[in-house]
Amino acid sequence: MSKEDSRHVYRLHSTLELPLEELHEFLETATYPEKVTDVELTRRNNTLILKAVSDDDSVSKYTPTAQLKASVTENRVYEEDPDERRNSFRWDEEEEDEIESELVEFAAFKGDRETVLQNSLLQYEMFQVLCAIAQETEKGTLTAISETDGELEATRIVDGEPRPADVEVVEGPRDGKATSAGVNWRDNKFISD
C-alpha cells in the first residue's frame, strides 16, 4: 500500500466561521502540507472554493483535486456588545447613541465531509489545511475521524483551540429480529380493496 493510500478522512463535521479578510491573510502566509504547492481561492457569488494545487506535474489539469467549500455570509459586527450597552443605559433610553457597527463578510465552512471537503486526490492534505484554518477561527467546531498509516485519529477543534478527542466504536442495539420502519401496505386501514 502506498503512502497516499493510507491517509483518509472518514467523518467530518464543521461549523467554522471566520472573517473573509482573515481567511485571505491566512492563505497568503500559510505553509501547506507536503504534495500541495498552493491553494487556489475562487469565489462564485456566495460560495468560496479553496482548491489544492498538486506538486505532481503528472496530474492532469482536468483531474479534480480536493477542495474546501465555504459559503459567504454577511454579519453585523458591533464595536461593543449591544446587550450590555442597552442594559447599562436602560435609565436613559431616549438619549442612547447608535452603537457603532459594520457589515463583515464571513467564510462559513459548515456541514459534513461531502459538503465541506470534496474530491479524493489530496483530500487528507486539504483536511490538514482545514484543521489549520480551524485553529484561526474564534467561532465554530471541527470534528473528524481520519486514518494515517492504519491508525484511526480523532480531531476536535473548538473556537480555535485543539481539544482532546477519542475514536469510539459502538454497535447499535440488536435483538435478532429484522425490523422494518416502512409502511405495511397489506395491513393499512387507509387503503381499501
**pLDDT at position 116:** 97
Residue 78 — very low, low, confident or very high, per pLDDT cuts 50/70/90?
A: confident
Are 50 and 67 spatial neighbours (Cβ–Cβ below 8 Å)?
A: yes
With pLDDT > 90 as the criterion, what percentage of the chain qualifies? 60
Residue 124 CA, distance from chain mean position? 14
Output the pTM of the full model. Answer: 0.77
Q: Read off the pLDDT of each residue in 77-96 and give the average, rounded to a whole number.
A: 59
**pLDDT at position 33:** 95
**pLDDT at position 2:** 45
Beta bridge partner(s), residue 17: 108, 139
Question: d(Cα 64, Cα 152) in Å, to the nearest integer?
Answer: 26
Q: ∠ CA(183), CA(172), CA(12), 5° rounding?
A: 100
Q: Read off the pLDDT of each residue in 45-66 and give the average, rounded to a whole number.
A: 92
Choose among 105, 169, 108, 120: nearest CA to 5.
120
Instruction: Answer yes or no: is pLDDT of 35 > 50.
Output: yes
**pLDDT at position 86:** 55
**pLDDT at position 99:** 76
Give the residue extent of every domain in the chain. 3-88+99-170
At 4-21, the pLDDT tens digits run 457 999 999 999 999 999
**pLDDT at position 4:** 46
Are 145 and 154 spatial neighbours (Cβ–Cβ below 8 Å)?
A: yes
Cell of 34: 507536503
Residue 159 — very low, low, confident or very high, per pLDDT cuts 50/70/90?
A: very high
Q: At what angle do helices 20-29 and 123-134 cross, to 10 degrees?
A: 120
Q: What is the dihedral of CA 141, 146, 152, 157, to 10 degrees?
A: -20
